[in-house]
Amino acid sequence: MRIVRFGRGSWGVVEGEVVRVTRGPGGSFTRKRLPLAEVRLLPPTKPTKIVCVGRNYRRHAQEMGEEVPKEPGLFLKAPNALAAPGSILPYPSFTHSLHYEGELAVVVGKRMRRVSEDKALAYVLGYTCALDLTARDVQKTDLQWIRAKSADGFCPLGPWVETDVAPFDLRLRTFVNGEVRQDARTSAMIFSIPFLLAYVSSFMTLEPGDVLLTGTPEGVGELKPGDEVAVEIEGIGRLSVRVAPAS
Ligand code: MG
């Protein structure tokens, strides 16, 4: 099932090129159907927080000149950072180094508090594509990463939550203006999704709709005004946004 949010906050399920409108996320169907091409998609979940993992792919840690971590390195994005599929995002005035990071996102389905690794997947609603947009220059100079990682629009998410996919070995590619920049498999993660969910929920309650970004593979880089960036994950879909052209 592909769960979408669209318009002014309606929920639906995508079947082929049609959106069947539902009562709530994954809820019962109404009679209404709309052509997918005619709805304005929103981020497909309403999280209370977005928990992110840094350095979860060995080669990305290496390209950043960092050690392979022994424990997950976590940070947060707030819901203000969400951006809809197809958004046009202004180039932020406070940075000269806006980077893309294509990532697999996990969407929580049931409240998680101290859930063990072997039970963690039963609490997952599904998976979607994310861009962990990052102001790389201020990430190095600010005390914390609030501005570098959680500015408005720094977490494009979508196009939908796919509930019927196994996340462990999917091809993930990021494109800038149609050119491949990241091409990896989710099997290369250092910390697995069940491990990460158990780890986070050991100290922080995860609510339905909350999002876990699972880290980016190697190949991160700069975005310039006017660039189109897309992340495509096998079995899930393709999310693309654009950086507004320089005015
Ligand atoms: Mg990241």
Which amino acid is present at 12? G
pLDDT value for 5: 98
Q: How far is the CA of 145 from the centre of ligand 1 (A)?
A: 12
Given a contact cutoff of 8 angstroms between Cβ atoms, the answer to whether 215 and 172 are in contact is: no
Mean pLDDT calculated for residue range 185-214: 98
- At residue 247, the pLDDT reads 76
> How many angstroms does the Cα of residue 115 sit away from the middle of ligand 1?
24
- When the pLDDT of each residue in the chain is averaged and rounded to a whole number, the result is 97
State the distance from the centre of ligand 1 to the C-alpha of 26, rounded, in angstroms.
28
Say how many Å lie between the CA of residue 100 and the centre of ligand 1: 8
Instruction: Report whether pLDDT(123) > 80.
Output: yes
pLDDT number for residue 62: 85
Q: Is the pTM of this model over 0.95?
A: yes
Cα(133) to centroid of ligand 1, in Å?
8
| SS3 per residue for 127-174 | EEEEECCEEHHHHHHCCCCHHHHHCCCCEEEEEEEECCCCCCCCEEEE
Residue 15 has pLDDT above 80, yes or no: yes
pLDDT of residue 60: 82
Residues with CB under 5 Å of ion ligand 1 are 101, 132, 216
State yes or no: pLDDT of 34 exceeds 80: yes
Q: Give me ligand 1 centre to Cα 171, in Å.
A: 17
Instruction: Report CA(226)–ligand 1 centroid distance (Å).
Output: 22
The 3-state DSSP class for residue 197 equals helix
Distance 215 CA to ligand 1 centre (A): 5
Per-residue pLDDT reduced to its tens digit, 165-198: 999 999 999 999 999 999 999 999 999 999 999 9
Q: What is the mean pLDDT of residues 87-109?
A: 98
Cα of 37 from ligand 1 centre, angstroms: 30
pLDDT digits (tens, 9 = 90+) for 37-89: 999 999 999 999 999 999 999 888 788 888 888 999 999 999 999 999 999 99
Give me ligand 1 centre to Cα 220, in Å: 9
Q: Which domains does the chain have, with CATH numbers?
A: 1-42 (2.30.30.370), 43-243 (3.90.850.10)
Q: Could you read off the pLDDT of 220-238 as tens digits, one per residue?
A: 999 999 999 999 999 999 9
**Averaged pLDDT, 128-139:** 98
CB contact at 8 A, 120 and 106? no
Tell me the CA–centroid distance for residue 217 and ligand 1, in Å: 9
Please tell me the distance between residue 18's alpha carbon and the centre of ligand 1 in angstroms. 32
Q: Does residue 125 surpass a pLDDT of 90? A: yes
47/218 Cα distance (integer angstroms):
27
CA of 55 to the centre of ligand 1 (A): 7
Determine phi and psi for 131, rounding to 5 degrees. -115, 120
